[in-house]
Amino acid sequence: MAIKKSSASVDFTEVGLHEAAAICGKSVTTLKSWFNLGCPVIERGGKSKKWRISPAAVMAWREEKIAQDAVGDTKSLDFEEARRRKIAAEAGMAELDFSLRRGELIPIEDIANQVGEEYANVRAKLLAIPVKMAPLMLGLDDLAKARGLLEDSITEAMEELTADEQYSGYESEEGAGEAPEESQAAA
């Protein structure tokens, strides 16, 4: 790897094509395509000529290109087009505000708070299962009865996840598809 060196340290102001690709974290092919799009290059290489590239200039060009692609071409944007886009954005915001006021939309903060509360309640109930169930299961010799008690406790905890409390019940692999009452009756 031929990198132009000063007497003190490596100087990244001018490197070859492969070194520039390594420094930029891109492939040689990517760099060549960028050069065809206008990325600055000190000197293009060839069969008997080495590439001379400034990695700093390449990275600065890439950052500018990313920003320009995100914003779009503002040079060709005339006043009327800008005005039209502003009016369309304002209309969109007014529609969102109207939908929010009509109750068709819910602020994300409200949803996040509700989900957070539900998760906290489920976590608390799940952590309480061993404490709650240990005394009830202490003298049990019947595996089906123990399983039924645990399923009831888990179902109760899972009901905390539903705002409308319509949890369909715990379904094990053996009792998949059965209603909670049926699986308890079978136990």
Domain ranges of the chain: 9-71, 76-105, 108-171+179-186
Q: Is 3 helix (H, G, I), strand (E, B) or coil?
A: strand
User: Domain 9-71 adopts which CATH fold?
Assistant: Arc Repressor Mutant, subunit A (1.10.10)
Q: Which residues contact 180 (CB under 8 A, 6 or more apart)?
A: 151, 152, 155, 168, 169, 170
Whole-number Å distance between alpha carbons of 150 and 5:
72
pLDDT of residue 66: 83
Which residue type does 160 have?
E
Nearest to 45 by CA among 56, 30, 32: 32
pLDDT of residue 73: 62
Query: What integer is the mean pLDDT of 29-51?
Result: 90
Which residue type does 166 have?
Q
- The answer, as to whether pTM is greater than 0.85, is no
pLDDT of residue 86: 87
Percentage of residues of the chain with pLDDT beyond 70: 76
Q: Which residues contact 129 (CB under 8 A, 6 or more apart)?
A: 150, 153, 154, 157
Whole-number Å distance between alpha carbons of 104 and 93:
14
- Confidence check: pLDDT of 93 > 80: yes
pLDDT of residue 133: 86
* 22-36, 86-100, 159-173: the lowest-pLDDT one: 159-173
Residue with tokens 């006043």: 79
For the chain, give the mean pLDDT: 77
